[in-house]
Amino acid sequence: MPKSEIVIRLGGEGGEGVISTGDIFTLASARTGYHVFTFRTYPAEIKGGHAWYQVRVGPRPVLSMGDQVDVLVAFNLEAYEKHKHLLNKEEGVLIYDPDEVTPEPHPKTVLYPIPFNRIARQDLNFVRGKNVVVTGVLAGLFGLDPSSLTGFITQRYKRRAELLDQNLKALEAGITYALKNLTKADPYYLTPTERVGRLVMSGNDAIVAGALTAGCRFYAGYPITPASEILELMAQTLPRIGGVSFQAEDEMAAIGSVLGASFAGVKAMTATSGPGLSLMTEFMGWSGMAEVPCVIVDAQRAGPSTGMPTKLEQGDLNHALFGGHGEFPRIVIAPGSVEDAFWQIINAFNLAEKYQVPVIFLSDQSLSHRTESLLKPDLSKVQVVDRLRPDEEALENGYQRFAITETGVSPMAVPGTPGGMYVAPGLEHDEKGHVDNPLASHEKMVPKRFRKLETLQKELEAPPRYGASDARIGVIGWGSTEGAIREAVERCVAKGIKVAAIHPKVLNPLPEKYIEEFIRSVDTVIVPEVNYTGQFARYLRSIFGIPVVRINKWGGLPFTAGEIQRKIEEVANGR
Amino acid sequence: MVVSTMPLTAKDYKSEVKPTWCPGCGDFAVLSATFKALADLQLRPEQVVVVSGIGCSSRIPYFCNTYGIHSLHGRALPMATGIKLARPDLTVLAMGGDGDLFSIGAGHFPHAARRNLDILVVCMDNQTYGLTKAQYSPTSFVGHKSKSSPYGTVEWPMNPVLLALAAGASWVARGYSGRPKQLQELIVEGVRHRGFAFLNVQSPCTEFHNTYNYYDARVQDIPKDHDPTDYLSAVRLALPQEKTLLGVFYRSERPVYEEQVRAFEKVKVEFDPDEFLSRYG
């Protein structure tokens, strides 16, 4: 039976075009109406080392990267050795260069030996065109509309006529080779479907799009994997829309300038990864103390220290929740998907501005770098919140920057406003910002600042629950694992297992009331997360005092739905 | 709010907060010179932001009736950078001590200088740590005995003026708390200068490292024949000398950072989320 849901994995030497082949193929698939979800990982070196790219393509929304590999494209022997065990046992396809790889017998696998290197080098005299040859082969083999590919390549090389010509020839060579020399023996077809105008974006793209939509007009950052694309896209976009993008000398300067800009009245953000977050921690406390809003994106990667810069770990939750000396309010938000990243970063700005606190936004290597297809977000649903400013009366009558209020939020004057002069202090201070009576001030100002989180907590909505209404097993996840968890839960429900799940996005403060309701409604709580120590599981335990079944993975790669599914099944079977 | 149109005087910049400094502290002279300089410049107090880090001298924003930031130890310059980039209309003064600017914050100084932001940085250099009570600082002379260098420091001191010149500051000067009138004039000139202006003030700490006598005997104006646009000559004067030279070492014109960063300002367009998202279609 023909199948149009395919998981394709491409593996090879870093720098030889594995990632670009995957990207071109993904975009072309999306343009012909398919849903896509990618994962990529490459070595931290610029060239060399093993890189691989996985794309899952399907006619229905794709939630995760897929369990097994239907089509493995091995650019070299290492790729074959590394990934062959993941090949679909029943209907797998192996595409390889026979000059590089001599596969062992695969009784049920369809083998397509294709001399990519020879085609590129000898037939085309264009060694670097190998990736486009491979793209052509995939298109020819699976029936992908060639016009979507030529269109994409033309766009990419439109200013470089010679390269454009070479690439188009390489594409043609790949397609022709597949059609002439290969006998189709696999069940996979990506024939054009109804074309829907979907976007293909990475998590980092979505973060920038959402931040700018929310009104961010100042960005500062220091290059770091996997957050650098945010800096690059901001540097390209902000100067033309009246904003500023600033490459700082280090992460302390990045967050410092963000807070300076925010103090001056401009919505501001920085993005980094774990090592940078460590350096920004002193300013997180200042932001909480001086009540100057900011948004800090942490695209988490495997730590500690320099760790594995290009690999995934949800390892910074503890730091986001508790990092820093002393006690100060902060909001922690973690998006679940690329589309969610767009909406949640808007939420992050709105909450930062509304409550005048630091907001830490936890993306990760998987989410920041993966691409997903999505319908263009409905922009009529965007709501933008600005910070509270003092009115004329407050400015006339001895303005109090840190006035004690019921919500904890005090009107904030921006420089240039007559009568609003105050000092944003890192020292404990009274309502006017004076620092000369710290004991009395601390007594009243700590609760004042934390009241902002209490106010917010009352406004938080219930995280949507999905799965069986009479569930006995409850799954609570956070961050980029949302799709894999949802897919696992849906499969289990289809098998009759009574399981349901929630995936809160605001992690501090938690919507405790609703999470408690959910916990009470089930017998067992499972918490999957990509880290070793179970940071979210421990956090939930500390608040709700309940035992949880942990699923942890710390190998630098995302969960597959199958991994979570198996654990849910084990729990359902009483193991 | 109704804004007075009367000419501003020094006391318009003075806040209701009483300085916490010890009697005789050199920083009083800097504060008072700053008030007078701002009055000379007739800058609206609400258009001025005084940014500092941590240390005795970094308390200065509290004493000014302007906007202010009392930031973290060493981080005045990053915050000043953010303010100036976001709001070029504001006058930004970054003020602090030698420990703040040249020890913990030293990593930021050369970058702010080379970028040529239009701000004035004033270092109140007392060559000691006052707030933590008498440890040696990065500008303490070799042999300086302090609580943390009981046998005398063995570290070669930082030369802030020379460092500023090396890093690319476009206006560099030195003042002395014992010469308040000159200090006032230097602050006026530093604020007026278009670009990164650095003023190092020898500001004695009467409590832990009283250098009034030392400097009274050694300060001398930069020779009248010095051409401040001559970089090499400025560097030569900044090298250690028998006398402590006061005045403007260097002055040059270079494009200002925030203007270059905002080069598209005149042709900017409104951000259009729909158009931005469509690029991914």
Contacts of residue A504, defined as CB under 8 A and 6 or more positions apart, other chains included, come to A463, A476, A478, A510, A511, A515
Residue B94 contacts A where some CB pair is shorter than 8 Å: no
Q: Would you list the domain boundaries of chain B? A: 19-278
Residue B46's pLDDT is 98
Task: Write the ipTM.
Answer: 0.98
* Alpha carbon distance A35, A26 (integer Å): 9
Average pLDDT value for residue range A83-106: 94
Residue A32's pLDDT is 87
Residue A151's pLDDT is 87
Taking CA atoms, what residue in B is nearest to A399?
A: B1
pLDDT tens digits, one per residue of B24-40:
999 999 999 999 999 99
Residue B158's pLDDT is 97
pLDDT at B2 over 90: no
Which of B:115-144 have CB within 8 Å of A? none
Residue A47's pLDDT is 74
Residue B17's pLDDT is 96
Residue B71 contacts A where some CB pair is shorter than 8 Å: yes
Residues of chain B contacting A283 with CB distance shorter than 8 Å = 72, 75
Confidence band for A479, pLDDT divided at 50, 70 and 90:
very high
* Alpha carbon distance A189, A133 (integer Å): 19
* Residue A204 structure tokens: 């980092």
Residue A197's pLDDT is 78
CA-based nearest distance A91→chain B, Å: 32
Element (H, E) at A265: none
Confidence band for A275, pLDDT divided at 50, 70 and 90:
very high
Mark yes or no for CB contact B71/A415 under 8 Å: no
Q: What domains, with CATH codes, occur in chain A?
A: 6-197 (3.40.920.10), 201-375 (3.40.50.970), 392-459 (no CATH), 466-572 (3.40.50.920)
H-only helix segments in chain B: 26-41, 76-86, 98-99, 109-115, 160-167, 180-192, 212-218, 231-238, 257-261, 273-278
Average pLDDT value for residue range B243-272: 95
* Residue A514 structure tokens: 């609703």
Note whether B273 and B200 are within 8 A (CB).
no
Average pLDDT value for residue range A486-495: 98
Residues of chain B contacting A201 with CB distance shorter than 8 Å = 280
Mark yes or no for CB contact A421/B66 under 8 Å: yes
CA atoms within 13 A of residue A55's CA, in its CB half-sphere: 28
Q: How far is CA A567 from the centre of its chain?
A: 24
According to DSSP, the residues that pair with A524 across neighbouring strands are A473
CATH 3.40.50.970 fits B19-278, yes or no: yes
Cα-flanking dihedrals φ and ψ of residue A245, to 5°? Answer: -115, 130
Average pLDDT value for residue range A332-336: 98
Confidence band for A156, pLDDT divided at 50, 70 and 90:
confident
Taking CA atoms, what residue in A is nearest to B260?
A: A239
The Cα angle at residue B32 between residues B190 and B252, in degrees rounded to 5:
5
pLDDT at B1 over 90: no
Residue A78's pLDDT is 95
Residue B271 contacts A where some CB pair is shorter than 8 Å: yes
* Alpha carbon distance B20, B17 (integer Å): 9
Confidence band for B83, pLDDT divided at 50, 70 and 90:
very high
Average pLDDT value for residue range A136-164: 90
Residue A193's pLDDT is 77
Which of B:72-91 have CB within 8 Å of A? 72, 75, 77-87, 89-90
- What is the tally of helices (H) and strands (E) in chain A? 19, 21
Residue B96's pLDDT is 98
Which of A209, A264, A418 is opposite residue B3, by nearest beta carbon? Answer: A418
pLDDT tens digits, one per residue of A340-377:
999 999 999 999 999 999 999 999 999 999 999 999 99
Confidence band for A292, pLDDT divided at 50, 70 and 90:
very high
* Alpha carbon distance A265, A413 (integer Å): 8
Residues of chain B contacting A199 with CB distance shorter than 8 Å = 277, 280-281
Residue A182's pLDDT is 93
Average pLDDT value for residue range A249-259: 98
Confidence band for A107, pLDDT divided at 50, 70 and 90:
confident
Burial class of B212 by CB neighbour count within 10 A (0 to 12, 13 to 18, 19+): middle
* Residue A97 structure tokens: 């260069």
DSSP notation for A505-519? SEEES--HHHHHHHH
Taking CA atoms, what residue in A is nearest to B20?
A: A436
Residue A302's pLDDT is 97
Residue A568's pLDDT is 98
Taking CA atoms, what residue in A is nearest to B88?
A: A264
According to DSSP, the residues that pair with A295 across neighbouring strands are A269, A359
Q: Which residue shows structure tokens 């005997």?
A: B217
Burial class of A360 by CB neighbour count within 10 A (0 to 12, 13 to 18, 19+): buried
* Alpha carbon distance A113, B268 (integer Å): 53
Which of B67, B86, B280 is opposite residue A421, by nearest beta carbon? Answer: B67
**Average pLDDT of chain A, as a whole number:** 96
- Nearest CA to A8 among A16, A21, A17? A21
pLDDT tens digits, one per residue of A388-426:
999 999 999 999 999 999 999 999 999 999 999 999 999
pLDDT at B262 over 80: yes
pLDDT tens digits, one per residue of B42-63:
999 999 999 999 999 999 999 9
Rg of chain B (C-alpha set):
20
According to DSSP, the residues that pair with A297 across neighbouring strands are A271, A361
* Alpha carbon distance A560, A562 (integer Å): 5
pLDDT tens digits, one per residue of A200-237:
999 999 999 999 999 999 999 999 999 999 999 999 99
Residues of chain B contacting A339 with CB distance shorter than 8 Å = none
* Alpha carbon distance A552, A535 (integer Å): 10
Confidence band for A152, pLDDT divided at 50, 70 and 90:
confident
Beta pairing class for A218-221 and A244-247: parallel
pLDDT tens digits, one per residue of A178-203:
999 999 999 999 987 777 779 999 99
